[in-house]
């Protein structure tokens, strides 16, 4: 030990210098030289030797002295090689807040068996290879201390220690293996190694470690130091490949919930033909219905249809890799929302079985937010007398009236009648929950892109110049087109191919809609015409002139809202963010090592996405699920989504600037801050989105240039190329031959691809998701389905419409049961959980990477996000921005980065997490 102390000196720890002030601009790595001194390596002190003999001596004596000196040096080297010393590991394990009886029992059993040798065992692995064995250098196994003593700790995090024995030639620590000999899994958050000359060495883990009984192989965790594949230290190369092979699996068998295997499959688990032929659904993914791929579960096929996979129904969990499952606080938030949804839906279900199921008037809708649900219905006593409800429900109703009351949606919180105004209807195309469909009109009347051989002259628009001439502020139609004053929200081609089947469904009626909007001199929009198309007829509605046209205009706007709600949910939200990101996430886990710098960049933007997509397959997009029950398209909803994927989705158009230019909402302009000029200057979604897009792009470029100083490193990065190739050729197999996929050969290519992915996972998803209840929770504002078409004078329904237009309006909207079910679901989807991680934040912000300059750059990115938030607050108070500020006008906060938990209509999480 004395020699070990001499080798280690005074055990000086070289602490990294504190981070400089936040900045985004950092120097590139222009070269990657191998230093002769490794800061992780322990270097023996030079032995002092005095050989200054000056007297004349014989040649034999010189030979003898030389021989003795060499012998002593060899002995000293051998002695130094044999020197061993200890380093300490501090292991952080996260406790569960709640445990059921079985978990508690197993925990106590593990505490007992830990005392008799069934421990958690760690082994430290060097970055160097032992030249004698050609294997990585390893420490002796070390056992976590005091597991049994700390087993009853109620702390959120418990710190354990272990001591490793290594020798002076061990080199740099690069990996740790962990073996769990207990029966119960545990969540390993972090391991810190102390005792090397370089200071503390960090191993970010954030993973569940399974019992050896379930998964015999040792778990592998790497240091936070990033390495490109070609730069992987020799001691880590085999482990790097081995860990990726573990994550890929072999593509066979049914997955267990404890597995960590990432693989691809088609959407063949949406239907349940074994229960009923009516619940059979096609396979999505393939030639007939192209679709992105989802996470493979390996469940057996159904008895009825060998091409369909057997479903797992709630409350049983759907397989996703163990580390992708919700953490405890997220589960609790989701469970609370589910209970609230059940209670909100239970009472309307009972009422619908004994009373009329339509709303009678606007006051009845308003009372959903003002009173306890049963009090609002005025039937609480009757309900509880006629139906023997579980005691918990009656108790909740009596003691927690607030739980049975809906929160007031933002759209009616400032002005309860705002939704009725035409300017508000149009404003939401720029600043509502679905601001990504509005486009500039270049040809009037608009032209369909559907196949004329199939649809013939029925594709011709019924819109004429006469419909809009009186609404153009004195301009001709041509002048309005030339001055970029005409815009449109066009759902004609999306819905028309499905209308016959949708309108054959019970209680569903839909048109294919086009809405023409005019840009006023104030910078606001106003609707000037709505075209409603059926396969063989079309009608055009314009702003009201009298009482009758007032109500037909309101009905026309409601049908537009229904189209909008369906496209928003099925295409823009579910398809373009949730489903289309999943292949990139699966491929990242399969092809990018945790050591890879690009994996470290993407990691926070992949959190919870596989789990929430699995939940969606169970309850949202499944046969007879929420979307089929609550949206106009019914069972054809996913077919509409698949058609949009086939005909409209292009990865190269998913970035914000490209999308704005494609829709004609902006034109390229290198003199503008973001390289483009918006044609509607006050376009809150685009205004705020471009701030976030630019911040993300700058951060990504800083990061990429750090590790790829020349394009050849990108071309020869085997893991990076495999990730991108698999994302396209397997994950998006139905588009693998498309010519629009970006190349991956240069820094600019990689920056563009990564910026688009981070944008979609964070800001784009937030803009499309967290306003669902604030805007859609008041169903008349944008009803998810319509039950009646608008009658004309030749139809018998027209008389009842004239007699009581408000009653007809409500009979066209969703029923009470459909409304409350929809409200409960979008309330859940709009809720931030307490463990949400927002853009500009990371778990372990100072240690997620071992590259100090990148940590510094990330703090600079975080600071920029903070500045953007202040700018958004400033814009929302600017009265010249009429689309986000004014009497009764909602501020646009869906791009505001931070949020409190709950339904806030703001906040940009890092990932698609709900």
User: How do strand 537-541 and strand 666-668 relate by DSSP bridges?
Assistant: unpaired
Beta carbons of 664 and 439 less than 8 angstroms apart: yes
User: Which residues neighbour 269 within 8 Å (Cβ) at sequence distance 6 or greater?
Assistant: 297, 299, 308, 309, 310, 311, 617
- DSSP of 233-295: -TTTHHHHHHHHHHHH--S-SPPPTT-----EE-B--S--TTT-GGG--PPBSSSSS----EE
The span from the CA of 5 to the CA of 83, in Å, is 10
The span from the CA of 496 to the CA of 555, in Å, is 19
User: Which residues neighbour 113 within 8 Å (Cβ) at sequence distance 6 or greater?
Assistant: 181, 182, 183
Nearest to 493 by CA among 454, 450, 532: 450
Q: Which two tokens stand for residue 63?
A: 């030979």
The span from the CA of 818 to the CA of 813, in Å, is 9
344 is catalytic: no
The span from the CA of 820 to the CA of 803, in Å, is 28
Beta carbons of 396 and 403 less than 8 angstroms apart: yes
578 is catalytic: yes
914 is catalytic: yes
182 is catalytic: no
Q: What angle in degrees, to the nearest 10, is found between the helix axes of 684-707 and 852-875?
A: 170
Q: Which of 182, 492, 596, 765 is catalytic?
A: 765
Beta carbons of 81 and 132 less than 8 angstroms apart: no
Q: What's the residue count for the chain?
A: 914
User: Which residues neighbour 635 within 8 Å (Cβ) at sequence distance 6 or greater?
Assistant: 281, 505, 623, 628
CA angle at residue 239 from 250 to 749, to 5 degrees?
A: 80
Q: Which two tokens stand for residue 437?
A: 């469909």
Element (DSSP H or E) covering residue 754: helix 747-759
Q: Which of 191, 433, 528, 914 is catalytic?
A: 914
Cα-flanking dihedrals φ and ψ of residue 649, to 5°? -75, 130
Q: Which of 182, 215, 410, 578 is catalytic?
A: 578
CB 385: neighbour CB atoms within 10 A?
Answer: 9
Q: Which of 180, 434, 613, 769 is catalytic?
A: 769
CA angle at residue 527 from 521 to 532, to 5 degrees?
A: 155
Q: Which two tokens stand for residue 816?
A: 């009470």
Cis peptide before 445, with omega less than 30 degrees from 0?
yes
C-alpha count within 13 angstroms, C-beta hemisphere, residue 2: 0
Q: Which of 573, 596, 674, 832 is catalytic?
A: 573
Cα-flanking dihedrals φ and ψ of residue 128, to 5°? -100, 160
- What amino acid positions are annotated as catalytic residues? 573, 578, 765, 769, 914
């Amino acid at each position: 030990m004395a020699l070990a102390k001499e080798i280690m000196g005074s055990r000086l720890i070289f602490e990294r210098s504190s981070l400089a002030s936040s900045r985004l601009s950092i120097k590139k790595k222009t070269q990657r030289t191998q230093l002769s001194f490794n800061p992780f390596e322990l270097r023996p002190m030079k032995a002092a030797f005095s050989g200054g003999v000056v007297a004349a001596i014989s040649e034999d004596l010189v030979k003898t002295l030389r021989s003795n000196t060499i012998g002593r040096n060899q002995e000293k080297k051998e002695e130094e090689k044999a020197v061993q010393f200890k380093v300490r590991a501090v292991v952080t394990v996260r406790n569960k807040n709640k445990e059921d009886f079985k978990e508690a029992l197993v925990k106590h059993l593990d505490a007992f068996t830990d005392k008799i040798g069934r421990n958690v065992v760690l082994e430290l692995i060097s970055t160097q290879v032992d030249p004698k064995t050609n294997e990585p250098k390893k420490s002796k196994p070390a056992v976590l201390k005091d597991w049994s003593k700390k087993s009853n700790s109620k702390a959120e995090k418990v710190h354990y220690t272990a001591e490793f024995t290594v020798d002076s030639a061990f080199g740099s620590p690069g990996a740790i293996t962990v073996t769990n000999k207990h029966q119960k899994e545990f969540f390993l958050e972090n391991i810190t190694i102390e005792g090397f000359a370089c200071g503390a060495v960090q191993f970010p883990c954030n993973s569940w470690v399974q019992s050896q009984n379930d998964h015999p192989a040792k778990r592998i965790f790497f240091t936070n130091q990033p390495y490109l594949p070609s730069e992987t230290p020799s001691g880590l190369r085999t482990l790097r490949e081995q860990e990726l092979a573990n994550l890929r699996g072999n593509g066979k068998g049914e997955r267990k919930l404890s597995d960590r295997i990432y693989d691809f499959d088609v959407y063949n688990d949406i239907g349940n033909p074994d229960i009923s032929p009516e619940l059979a659904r096609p396979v999505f993914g393939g030639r007939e219905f192209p679709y992105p791929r989802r996470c493979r579960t390996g469940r057996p096929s159904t008895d009825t249809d060998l091409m369909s996979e057997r479903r797992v129904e709630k409350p049983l969990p759907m397989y996703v890799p163990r580390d992708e499952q919700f953490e405890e606080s997220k589960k609790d938030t989701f469970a609370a929302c589910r209970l609230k949804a059940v209670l909100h839906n239970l009472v309307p279900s009972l009422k619908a079985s004994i009373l009329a199921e339509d709303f009678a008037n606007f006051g009845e809708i308003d009372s959903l937010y003002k009173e306890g649900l049963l009090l609002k219905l005025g039937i609480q006593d009757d309900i509880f007398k006629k139906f023997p409800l579980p005691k918990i429900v009656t108790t909740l109703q009596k003691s927690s009236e607030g739980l049975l009351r809906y929160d007031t949606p933002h759209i009616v919180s400032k002005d309860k009648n705002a939704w009725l105004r035409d300017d508000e209807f149009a404003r939401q195309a720029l600043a509502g929950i679905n601001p990504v469909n509005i486009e500039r009109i270049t040809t009037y009347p608009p032209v369909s892109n559907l196949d004329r051989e199939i649809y013939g002259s029925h594709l011709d628009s019924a819109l004429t110049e006469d419909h809009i001439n009186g609404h153009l502020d004195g301009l001709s139609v041509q002048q309005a087109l030339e001055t970029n004053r005409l815009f449109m929200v066009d759902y004609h081609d999306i819905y028309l191919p499905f209308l016959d089947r949708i309108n054959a469904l019970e209680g569903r009626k839909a048109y294919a809609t086009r809405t023409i909007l005019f840009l006023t001199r104030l910078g606001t929009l106003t609707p000037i015409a709505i075209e409603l198309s059926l396969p063989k007829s079309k009608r055009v509605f314009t702003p009201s002139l009298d009482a009758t046209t007032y109500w037909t205009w309101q009905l026309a706007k409601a049908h537009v809202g229904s189209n909008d709600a369906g496209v928003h949910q099925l295409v823009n939200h579910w398809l373009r963010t949730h489903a289309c990101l999943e292949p990139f996430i699966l491929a990242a886990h399969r092809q990018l090592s945790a050591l890879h710098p690009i994996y470290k960049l993407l990691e926070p933007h992949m959190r919870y996405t596989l789990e929430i997509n699995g939940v969606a397959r169970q309850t949202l997009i499944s046969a007879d699920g929420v979307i089929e029950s609550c949206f106009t398209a019914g069972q054809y909803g996913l077919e509409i989504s698949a058609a949009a994927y086939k005909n409209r989705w292009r990865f190269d158009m998913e970035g914000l600037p490209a999308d704005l230019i494609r829709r004609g909402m902006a034109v390229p302009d290198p003199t503008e801050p973001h390289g483009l000029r918006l044609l509607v200057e006050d376009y809150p979604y685009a205004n705020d989105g471009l701030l976030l897009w630019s911040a993300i792009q700058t951060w990504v470029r800083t990061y990429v240039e750090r590790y790829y100083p020349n394009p050849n490193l990108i071309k020869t990065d085997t893991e990076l190329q495999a990730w991108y190739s698999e994302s396209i050729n397997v994950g998006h197999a139905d588009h693998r031959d498309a010519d629009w996929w970006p190349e991956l050969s240069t820094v600019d290519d990689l920056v563009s691809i990564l910026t688009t992915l981070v944008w979609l996972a964070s800001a784009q998803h937030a803009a499309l998701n967290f306003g669902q209840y604030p805007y859609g929770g008041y169903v008349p504002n944008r009803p998810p389905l319509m039950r009646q078409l608008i009658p004309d004078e030749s139809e018998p329904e027209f008389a009842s419409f004239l007699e009581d237009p408000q009653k007809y309006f409500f009979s066209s909207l969703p029923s009470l049961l459909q409304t409350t079910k929809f409200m409960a679901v979008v309330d859940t989807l709009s809720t931030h959980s307490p463990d949400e991680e927002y853009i500009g934040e990371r778990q372990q912000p100072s240690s997620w990477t071992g590259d100090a300059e990148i940590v510094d750059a990330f703090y600079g990115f975080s600071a920029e996000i903070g500045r953007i938030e202040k700018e958004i607050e400033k814009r929302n108070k600017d009265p010249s921005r009429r689309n986000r500020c004014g009497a009764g006008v909602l501020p646009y906060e869906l791009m505001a980065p931070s949020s409190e938990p709950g339904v806030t209509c703001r906040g940009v999480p890092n990932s698609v997490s709900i």
